[in-house]
Structure 1
Amino acid sequence: MIAVVGATAAGKSDLAVDLALRLDGEAVNADSMQLYRGMDIGTAKLDVQEMRGVPHHLLDVWDVTVTASVAEYQRLSAEAIAGIRARDRVPVLVGGSGLYVRAALDHLEFPGTDPAVRARLEEELARTGPGALHERLRGLDPAAAEAILPSNGRRIVRALEVIEISGRPFTATMPEHRYRYDAVVQIGLNVPRAVLDERIALRVDRMWDAGLVDEVRALEKRGLRDGVTAGRALGYAQVLRYLAGEWTQEEAKADTVRTTRRFARRQESWFRRDPRVQWLPHDAPDLLERALEPLR
């Protein structure tokens, strides 16, 4: 199987479709926010025409009120990949959610949970906000703090919970890089930082023009504001603040660009730590052929 990884706005989805068409393959989503139904514009989810006839799996799985679970995604992705392989087709994993990519590809077991520890940390999160907990995480496990957005209270709580339960850094619970499948190729799309920043700003403008505010307004009626995961998604969280009267539209858009750029840096750092990723320039004129070369 093959995986296409890298930062947001790097062009992963288009390359994955090209690969699937050439390899008689099917795409498997590894973007945590594209698993949510109705979150289309803000996650740059491909429409039917853009999929070009390639079957796509694990899109629109959860309602926006459901809290994301990497362990559940691991089970779902294993089922999807097994089904594709049973049809003698090639799975093409595509997405920028690093932990989800590893959950799909690697031998990865998730640490247990302690309800009492989790409840105490969640109470502290509600009382003090994610900033203070993120600073604590930075002192205990700088690598985990670098990989988790300071605003992502749910993931910060989980990292601190694992540290307290195991007595080890959260990142130390991640096993060595070892695939669960016989033959895997990971292709990373490399985009210069200045170019990526420009692409992100352009993407956010296009999302606003395509009706992101209306999409969020409709999802708010379905419980988006109460969604522990979906309600904090990039773009969606900012629009919710605009709809609540806390920000102007321009403030919400500007913060979406800033936050997405920071998130893209974290994505790059995550995937750069995986020595198995083979990096290719995103704008190579022969990108598809270069991506196919490791398979040969």
Structure 2
Amino acid sequence: MDAPAAPPAAAATGATVPLVAVVGATATGKSDLAIDLAERLGGEVVNADALQLYRGMDIGTAKVTAQERRGIAHHLLDVLEVTEEASVSAFQRDARAAVAGIRSRGRVPILVGGSGLYVRAALDEIEFPPTDPEVRARLEERAQREGAEALHRQLRDTDPEAARTIGSHDTRRIVRALEVGELTGRPFTAFLPRPHHHDPSTVQLGLRLDRPLLHERIRARVHRMVEQGLLEEIRTLRARGLDEGRTARRAIGYEQGLAVLDGTLSCEQAIEDTIAGTRRLVRKQDTWFRRDQRVRWLPADAGAGLVERALAQIAAAAAMSSAPPS
């Protein structure tokens, strides 16, 4: 974590903003906007990109460098080894602790990332149910022996609402729903996310970009990553156990790079596969964030005017939250 920069004499909006979130698809410029806002508002940045939690996964995740952070404190970067599995429930705990710490210093927390569930975990009322490896293993063994449909019939009896939303062949989700029911005595649907901010003064800013331009940015970014030494980064991470990491080794770009090192993909094929995988990710991110009606969208290609637009949206949201009910 970097040392906090000194806050400016006055926040640009003239109002206290407890929590700002910058969300949107990969390659839209979220990190740059978050740093700009932190400079203007006297803030600190909290990472909500699942892969940027990992130490050493720098080039392939477009992680901001120490120089690019401009002295702004960044939290929840480089907190996991590549052999560890990222946990959204642990992230929720750590992100909220980081936000509380930033507030205690009289500064503005700015959450930034494109990992939809991680953003929701930090911002919304989401309770994560417990898990038990023995219970899960027993249910998975039953699914193999009896078939997913048999477990789905049990789910229809014990948790009909969950059964209606989970397909009869979706073994993973059926097992999880039964596991939750057995461990908590509560229906699986009781733990689904609700669109209600944990902090009612939260302001979500989304960056959007026309798809053709975004595709151009993605292609240029992937080629730039290769030029910056992505393969060497992956080789170094492999020596630290990347192959054993359930989450890290499957990351877009890293999975392809491992294949290059193994000789099963050419560098050219890996580049194209990474571009295609990133485009698929962008479609998922768009779907995730655009269905959230609370996001205030801004054009990512607004240039120098983007920060002013963002500050105006923050000020408008602050005014709305402080206005007396009609």
- CA separation of 1:141/1:263 partners in 2, compared to 1, >3 Å: closer, same or farther? farther
The residue type equivalent to 1:64 in the other structure is: V
TM-superposed CA distance for 1:117, in Å, is: 5.5
TM-superposed CA distance for 1:178, in Å, is: 1.1
1:289 is matched with 308
1:6 is matched with 24
Give the alignment of 1:100-115 within 5 angstroms.
100-115=118-133
Does the residue aligned with 2:277 lie in a helix, a strand or coil? helix
Does the residue aligned with 1:2 lie in a helix, a strand or coil? strand
Equivalenced residues, count = 271
TM-superposed CA distance for 1:257, in Å, is: 0.5
1:278 is matched with 296
Structure 1 contact 234–256 (Cα < 8 Å) conserved: yes
- CA separation of 1:39/1:169 partners in 2, compared to 1, >3 Å: closer, same or farther? farther
- Deviation string for 1:184-237 (max 9, x for gaps)? 100000111111111111100000000000000000000001100111111001
The residue type equivalent to 1:90 in the other structure is: V
User: 5+ unaligned residues in a row in structure 2: which ranges?
Assistant: 1-18, 144-163, 316-326
Separation in 1 of the partners of 2:314 and 2:258?
A: 44
Give the alignment of 1:44-193 within 5 angstroms.
44-116=62-134, 118-119=136-137, 141=166, 157=172, 159-165=173-179, 173-193=191-211
Separation in 2 of the partners of 1:120 and 1:254?
A: 40
- CA separation of 1:118/1:250 partners in 2, compared to 1, >3 Å: closer, same or farther? farther
2:154 is matched with none
Q: Within the alignment, does 1:251 sit opposite 2:269 as a pair?
A: yes
Separation in 1 of the partners of 2:142 and 2:218?
A: 34
Identity over aligned pairs, percent: 57
User: 5+ unaligned residues in a row in structure 1: which ranges?
Assistant: 126-138, 146-155
TM-superposed CA distance for 1:161, in Å, is: 3.4
Structure 1 contact 141–169 (Cα < 8 Å) conserved: no
Structure 2 contact 252–274 (Cα < 8 Å) conserved: yes
Separation in 1 of the partners of 2:41 and 2:189?
A: 35
- CA separation of 1:40/1:160 partners in 2, compared to 1, >3 Å: closer, same or farther? farther
Structure 1 contact 141–170 (Cα < 8 Å) conserved: no
Does the residue aligned with 2:292 lie in a helix, a strand or coil? coil
Q: Choose 165-174 or 49-58, whichever is displaced more.
A: 165-174
Among 47, 62, 66, the residue aligned to 1:29: 47
Separation in 2 of the partners of 1:123 and 1:232?
A: 25
TM-score (norm 1): 0.85
TM-superposed CA distance for 1:262, in Å, is: 0.1
Separation in 1 of the partners of 2:190 and 2:199?
A: 23
Structure 2 contact 21–110 (Cα < 8 Å) conserved: yes
Does the residue aligned with 2:85 lie in a helix, a strand or coil? coil
Does the residue aligned with 1:38 lie in a helix, a strand or coil? coil
- Deviation string for 1:97-153 (max 9, x for gaps)? 00110111112101332434533687899xxxxxxxxxxxxx9648xx9xxxxxxxx
Does the residue aligned with 2:301 lie in a helix, a strand or coil? coil
Rg (Cα) greater in structure: 2
Structure 2 contact 166–174 (Cα < 8 Å) conserved: no
Separation in 1 of the partners of 2:248 and 2:82?
A: 6
Separation in 1 of the partners of 2:71 and 2:41?
A: 13
- CA separation of 1:171/1:256 partners in 2, compared to 1, >3 Å: closer, same or farther? farther
Separation in 2 of the partners of 1:104 and 1:283?
A: 27
1:136 is matched with none
TM-score (norm 2): 0.77
Among 210, 231, 255, the residue aligned to 1:213: 231
TM-superposed CA distance for 1:172, in Å, is: 7.6
Among 236, 239, 246, the residue aligned to 2:257: 239
